[in-house]
Amino acid sequence: MKPDILAHIDLIKKLNAEGEFFDEESPRYKAAALKALNAAKENGCLLEVNTGGVYRGYRKDFYPGPWLLTEWHKMGGKVIITSDAHDTASLTFGFDEAAEAVKAAGFSSVEVLTVNGFETQEL
């Protein structure tokens, strides 16, 4: 069975806000990220845009960042926005901002999980 969603793709940058552990612009990092995106695309995965790291104060940007979102859009991938909620206050935290980030990467829609499965909703 294949996964439906690739989540937390660049969680590795969670504690790297100031670049203290690795260079997020490094060709090596970007090559590994693209390899993961290609595997997700080959398996028909959605890519999760997760607002949890911002809610918890680890990052100022969502997972994945703008570069990965743009690459995913170029591949023809689809996205879903989630919060990784651990409490009710974070359930829809940052969704408007995440939708703007998704739009900025070129997407015009997101996938939403409903009782009928995943459905596309225009942004």
Mean pLDDT of 104-109: 98
pLDDT number for residue 43: 94
Q: What is the mean pLDDT of the chain?
A: 93
The pLDDT tens digits for 48-91 are: 999 999 999 988 889 999 999 999 999 999 999 999 888 998 99
Q: How far apart are CA 119 and CA 15, in angstroms?
A: 33
Return the sign of the alpha-carbon dihedral for residues 123, 82, 52, 2.
negative
* Residue 54 and residue 94 in contact, taking contact as beta carbons nearer than 8 Å: yes
* Residue 119 and residue 111 in contact, taking contact as beta carbons nearer than 8 Å: yes
Phi-psi region of 82 (alpha: psi -120 to 50; beta: other; left: phi over 0): beta
pLDDT number for residue 122: 97
Q: How far apart are CA 29 and CA 41, in angstroms?
A: 18
The pLDDT tens digits for 34-46 are: 999 999 999 999 9
Closest to 75 in 3D by CA, of 32, 35, 120: 35
Mean pLDDT of 99-114: 97
pLDDT number for residue 18: 84
